[in-house]
Amino acid sequence: MPEIHVTIDGVPVTVPAGTNVVDAARVAGISIPVFCYHPRMKPVGMCRMCLVAIGTPKVDRATGQVEKDAEGKPIIAMMPKLMTGCTTPVSEGMVVLTTTDEVKFAQRGILEFLLTSHPLDCPVCDKGGECPLQNLTMEWGPGNSRFDYSDKVHFEKPVPLGDLILLDRERCILCGRCVRYQDEIADDPVLGYENRGRNWHIISKSDPPFDSKFSGNTTDICPVGALTTADFRFRARVWELKSVPSICTHCPVGCNIALDMRHDQIKRVMPRENGAVNDIWICDKGRFGQRFVESTERLTTPLIRRNGELVATTWDEALRVVAERFATIQREAGGEALAGLAGPRLSNEDLFAFQRLFREVLHSPHLDHRVGMPGEPHADNLGTELGVGSGTNLMTLGKGTTVLVFGADPEEEAPLYMLRLRGIADRGGELIVVNPRPTKLERSATHRLRYRAGSELQFTRALLSVALAEVDTQQRTPDFPGLDSLRTTLQSIAVDAAAEAAGVTVEALRTVAQRFVQAENGIIMYGADAFAVGPMLTHDLGNLAVLAGKVGRANNGLIALLPGGNARGALDMGVRPDYGPGYTSLSQPGLSAREIWGAATEGRVRGMYVMGIDPANDFPASRGALEALEFLVVQDMFLTATAQVAHVVLPSASFAERDGTYTNAERRVQRARQARPAPGACRADWTIVQGVAQALAGMLVPVAAASQSATEGYWSQDGSEQEGVSRNGQAWNYITVSDVADAIADTVPGYSGITHTSLAQTGKVGTWGRQTNEDYFYDGTNYENTEGVGLQYPAPVEQQRTTFTLETAPIQSAPIDERYPFVLLVQRLLYDADPLLRDSLLVSHVPAPYVAISTNDSRRLGIQAGDRVRVSSSAGGIELPARVVVDLTDGSVLIPAHLSGAPLSMIQTGPRTHVALTKIAQR
C-alpha cells in the first residue's frame, strides 16, 4: 500500500492509502469524535459528528503541478464545507483542522442536536458511566441545552428487539451501528429501520425476532444505552464492576472474555480483544451462557453413597474412600481394572494432573476425554501435527488466502470462526465451503460445493487427483514422504466417476484445487460432518494441505473443530488411550471410552473416575456399564446423570473459580483468571486429583514403570524433553495451579516455555490501536486486553518433526442395506441440551428435536412438516416430528445432536448410520 502524508492540526503523519481521516488522526494522537463510525465497519457519515475542515494542495490545472507560495510551501485549498472525517480518505498533502472555531461550532451543534432527542435518563441507564454520548458531550458538547424539554419526542420504553436485546428508542441516536453490524459482520441481516425523520427507529425484521447468534455484540457497539441485554439490564452500575479476564470454554474458538464482577457475582460477560482469536466479538452463548456458574444447583460438598443414598460428607472422608477403593481394585486386579474419563472443557492443568494420576500413580492406561458414542470425533492428531503455523492471524488474511471449509458448520460448532472466515472473504480472500448440507457460512462463500453424504472419500480422492495435477503443472510438488505411493494410488482413480459419485462436477473440483494450490496461504477447516466419516477423510485433508504446500508456515495448515472448549488441550495432555502427553507414543495403549464400557460390563474394568463429563446423559447406552462398576467416582459441578449413580461425588470449581489454561483449535494456549471464590467446599479439579493422589500414597502395589514410558513422538529427538518425560515420577506437591502449568511446560513436549508467567507477558497485543482518549468513542466495550493474548505453540510440521506421510487407504465401501436407504447427518447445534446452558436466557432458544428431510423425499414419502416419523436403523429406532428443508440433498436426513427427546445414540451404528423413515402419524 502506498503511504500517504497528511498533516492533522499541524502534526505530520504517514498512513497507508485508503485510510480515512478519523483513523489517520488516531495515528497522530488526535481525537476526532465519532458516533456512527466504527473501525470494524464501513463508514456511512450519518451522525455528522466527525465534521472537520479539510484542505488539499492546490493544483494548477494547466500544468498539473502543485502550486507553491512564496516560501515554496504548497498552497492549500480548503474545501468549502466541513467534511465528515470518517468518509473522507486521506490524499497526499492533505491538511486537516479539527479545532477551528467553525469545526468546534459544528461538533458542538451536532451534540446539541443529538441531546435534543435524548431522554437524559443517565441515572437509570445501564450505559451510564461507559457511555460515548456522555463522554463526547463532556469533551465536545455544549454546557447546557436550549431545547425545551417538553418538545422531546417520547416512545414506549423499552421494546424488545428479541428476547435477549431490548431497545430504548428514546435513547437511540440512530447511528445504525447495530443494523450495519448485523449486515456486514454477523451476516444476519435481521435488523432494519422503520418510519422516518424523528420517528425513524430500529426494528427487528426476523421471526423469531432478532434471530442471530451474535446479537449481544450490538449492545457493545451501541454508543448509547439504547440497546441493553436482558441479561445485564438493571443488574449493576458499570463503575462497580471489576473485569476479570477469562476464556470461554463452550467451543474450540477460545474467545477471550471478561467476567465483569461485582463482589462475587458475574454481572455480565464481555468480549476481550484478541485479534488472533475473536477480535472484539463473542457469540451469544459465550455472553449469556455462563450463568451455570452461579446456578443454585451447584454441588457444594462432597457426597458419599450410604444405604443407597448420596449424602454429604467431608473432603477427608471422600478422598480417603476414593483412595481406598481405587487401591483395593488396583491391588486385586492391577491398574488396568481402573479407567478415567475427563471432559474436554477442563483446563490443561486438570487434564494433565488427571492423566498423571492414572498413568503414574494408578498405572492404568485407560483414559479418554470422550464418552464413546458412535459418531463422535476420533482422536485428531492432524490439527496439531499439520495445524496452522504459529503466528497465524485470521484477521490479517484476505486477498491471496484460500480457506477450504470441509464438513464443518462454524456457525453452530464454533461461531466466531464464521465471523473470522467472513472477514477473510470480505477482504478479498477465497472461501470455499464444502458440505453435505446447507450451512449459513455458504452465504459468504466464494465457492460452494455440496457433496453427497456417504461419498466424502470419493470426493477427496478426486480432489487430490486434480490437486496433484495442478501442483505438477505449477511445478510445486512438495518433497514429502509417501508422495510416490500417493501418486500411484491417485493414478488409479477415475476422477470423472468419483466426482459423479460425490455429486459434483470435475470442473468444480478443478476450480477448488486451483484456488487452493495457487493461493499464497491456504487453510483447511474441518468439523463434525468431516469427523462423521472418520480418520481416512481427515488424513485426505492433510494430504491436500501437504500436496499444496500449505503447511508449516503461519496462516497455513489445518484447523479442526472438536466439541468442547479444550478438546485440543485434552489431546495434547494425553487424556486419551493411544498417546501420552504431547503425542508421545505409549508402549501399551489403553482402552478408549467405547472399549471401557465393554470392559466394565464384563468386569475387566471395576473402578472409574469420571471428571467433568457426563456419559450417562450424553450416551445413555453407557448406563449399564456405569452401574456395573464396583466403584465410580464422579467429579463435577452438578449432580449429573452419571453422578447420580456414583459412589462418591466430588464437587468441583467452575472455570470462573480458579485459574487455568486452555488450548484452542489453533493451538493457542490462553489463560483464564479466577473471578470468584468457589461455592461451598468446591475445589479446583487439579486440586482434587492431587488430593486423591496424595491419599493414595503408600496404598498401592508398586508396578514396573513400563506401561507409561514414552518412546517416541513429534518432539522425541529433543533430548531435554525426553528427559522431562522421564521426570514424570515427581511428587504431588503442586501448591498453585501455575505449578501444574510449570510441570506441563517441563514435561509436555510442545508446551515448553508456556507458563502462567510467560502467558502474562504476552501483553496487550491487538489490532485495536488504543490511544489517548480512545475510550471516549468506544467506551462500554470492555475491549481492552491487558492480560495477554496467549501463546501458540508451533505445529510439529513447522519444526520438521512431523510423522505424517502422504497416503490414502483404499475406500472400503460397505454394502448398502436396502432396508436403510437414507444417510443420517447429525448436526451439532450451538444451542443444544447442554446442561451448562442452565439458568441462562438461551434455554428458550434450544429447539425441540426433529428430523429434517429434503423436499423431494418429503413428496416421495408423503411426509409433511410436522408429521411424526420413525427413524430406524439396524440399532434401533426413535420417533421425531419432521421438518422439510428445501436445500437438503435428497437421500439424507438431518437430526440435531444433543436435544432432549432425540437419543441419537439409540440409532447410531458407527461414524455413518443408514436409516429408514416411516411416517407414523399425520400432523
Partner 1 sequence: MALSEYIVLRDVQIPDIADFDVYLKHGGYEALRQAVKHKTPAEIVTMVRDAGLRGRGGAGFPTGVKWGFLPKGVYPRYLLCNCDESEPGTFNNHQIIDRNPHQLIEGIIISAYAIECHTAYIYTRGEFAAASRTLEHAIAQAYASGFLGKNILGSGYDLDLYVHRGAGAYICGEETALMESLEGKIGQPRLKPPFPAVAGLYGKPTIINNVETLINVPPIVEKGVAWYRSFGTEKSPGTKAFSLCGHVNRPGNYELPFGVPLRELIYSPEYGGGMREDRPVKIVVPGGASAPWLTGDQLDVALDYESLAAAGTMLGSGGVIVLNDTVSAPHVAYKMDEFFKHESCGKCTPCREGTHWLVRVLHRMTEEHHGHADDIPTLHDIYRQMAGNCLCLLGESAVMPIKSALDLFPEEFETLVKVQHAEHRLELTSR
Q: Contact 167/155 with Cβ under 8 angstroms?
A: no
| Alpha carbon distance 287, 216 (integer Å) | 7
Q: In the complex, what is the shortest distance from the CB of residue 97 to partner 1, in angstroms, rounded to a whole number?
A: 15
CB-wise, 47 or 227, nearer to partner 1?
Answer: 47
Q: In the complex, what is the shortest distance from the CB of residue 477 to partner 1, in angstroms, rounded to a whole number?
A: 41
Q: In the complex, what is the shortest distance from the CB of residue 111 to partner 1, in angstroms, rounded to a whole number?
A: 9
Grid look-up 449492545 returns 219
Q: Contact 823/857 with Cβ under 8 angstroms?
A: no
| Alpha carbon distance 468, 377 (integer Å) | 28
Q: In the complex, what is the shortest distance from the CB of residue 197 to partner 1, in angstroms, rounded to a whole number?
A: 4
Q: In the complex, what is the shortest distance from the CB of residue 117 to partner 1, in angstroms, rounded to a whole number?
A: 6
Cα 684 to chain centroid, rounded: 24
Q: Which residues are within 8 A (CB) of 647 and not within 5 positions of it... i.e. 6 or more apart?
A: 304, 305, 321, 325, 631, 632, 633
CB-wise, 86 or 806, nearer to partner 1?
Answer: 86
| Alpha carbon distance 630, 607 (integer Å) | 6
Q: In the complex, what is the shortest distance from the CB of residue 108 to partner 1, in angstroms, rounded to a whole number?
A: 8
Q: Which residues of 607-619 are buried (b: 16+ CB within 10 A; e: fewer)?
A: bbbbbbbbbbbbb
CB-wise, 119 or 750, nearer to partner 1?
Answer: 119
CB-wise, 114 or 519, nearer to partner 1?
Answer: 114
| Dihedral-angle region of residue 788 (phi above 0 means left; psi in -120 to 50 means alpha; beta otherwise) | left
Q: Contact 358/340 with Cβ under 8 angstroms?
A: yes
Grid look-up 488430593 returns 691
Which positions touch partner 1 (CB under 8 A)? 43-49, 51, 80-82, 87, 105-106, 109-110, 112-114, 116-117, 146-148, 151, 153, 173-174, 192-193, 195-200
CB-wise, 23 or 412, nearer to partner 1?
Answer: 23
| Alpha carbon distance 712, 700 (integer Å) | 28
CB-wise, 142 or 769, nearer to partner 1?
Answer: 142
CB-wise, 182 or 892, nearer to partner 1?
Answer: 182
Closest CA relative to residue 792, chosen from 384, 433, 435: 384
Q: In the complex, what is the shortest distance from the CB of residue 226 to partner 1, in angstroms, rounded to a whole number?
A: 14
CB-wise, 47 or 504, nearer to partner 1?
Answer: 47
Closest CA relative to residue 573, chosen from 800, 256, 346: 346
The DSSP string of 652-678 is B--GGGS-EEEE-TT-EEEEE---SPP
- Burial tier of 815 (Cβ tally within 10 Å: 0-12, 13-18, 19+): exposed
CB-wise, 200 or 234, nearer to partner 1?
Answer: 200
Q: In the complex, what is the shortest distance from the CB of residue 147 to partner 1, in angstroms, rounded to a whole number?
A: 6
Closest CA relative to residue 261, chosen from 250, 270, 251: 270
Q: In the complex, what is the shortest distance from the CB of residue 379 to partner 1, in angstroms, rounded to a whole number?
A: 49
Q: Contact 291/682 with Cβ under 8 angstroms?
A: no
| Alpha carbon distance 177, 46 (integer Å) | 10
Q: In the complex, what is the shortest distance from the CB of residue 46 to partner 1, in angstroms, rounded to a whole number?
A: 5
Q: Which residues of 426-460 are buried (b: 16+ CB within 10 A; e: fewer)?
A: eeebbbbbbbbbbbbbbebbebbbbbbbbbbbbbb
Closest CA relative to residue 579, chosen from 899, 878, 796: 796
Q: In the complex, what is the shortest distance from the CB of residue 85 to partner 1, in angstroms, rounded to a whole number?
A: 13
Using only the alpha carbons of the chain, give its radius of gyration.
30
Closest CA relative to residue 108, chosen from 130, 135, 139: 139
| Alpha carbon distance 664, 394 (integer Å) | 14
Q: In the complex, what is the shortest distance from the CB of residue 146 to partner 1, in angstroms, rounded to a whole number?
A: 5
Percentages helix, strand, coil for the chain (3-state, rounded to 5) are 35, 20, 45
Q: What is the DSSP letter of 65?
A: P
Q: In the complex, what is the shortest distance from the CB of residue 76 to partner 1, in angstroms, rounded to a whole number?
A: 19
Q: Contact 337/349 with Cβ under 8 angstroms?
A: no
CB-wise, 40 or 320, nearer to partner 1?
Answer: 40
CB-wise, 426 or 879, nearer to partner 1?
Answer: 426
- Burial tier of 920 (Cβ tally within 10 Å: 0-12, 13-18, 19+): exposed
Q: In the complex, what is the shortest distance from the CB of residue 90 to partner 1, in angstroms, rounded to a whole number?
A: 15
CB-wise, 193 or 234, nearer to partner 1?
Answer: 193
Question: How open is the CA angle 491-496-499, to the nearest 5 degrees?
Answer: 105
CB-wise, 195 or 488, nearer to partner 1?
Answer: 195
CB-wise, 22 or 371, nearer to partner 1?
Answer: 22
Q: In the complex, what is the shortest distance from the CB of residue 195 to partner 1, in angstroms, rounded to a whole number?
A: 8
Residues in the chain: 923
CB-wise, 153 or 920, nearer to partner 1?
Answer: 153
Judged by DSSP in three states, 159 sits in strand
| Alpha carbon distance 458, 467 (integer Å) | 14
CB-wise, 37 or 783, nearer to partner 1?
Answer: 37
The DSSP string of 227-262 is EEETTTTTS--GGG-EEEEEE--SSTT--EEEEEEE
Q: In the complex, what is the shortest distance from the CB of residue 212 to partner 1, in angstroms, rounded to a whole number?
A: 20
| Alpha carbon distance 732, 694 (integer Å) | 7
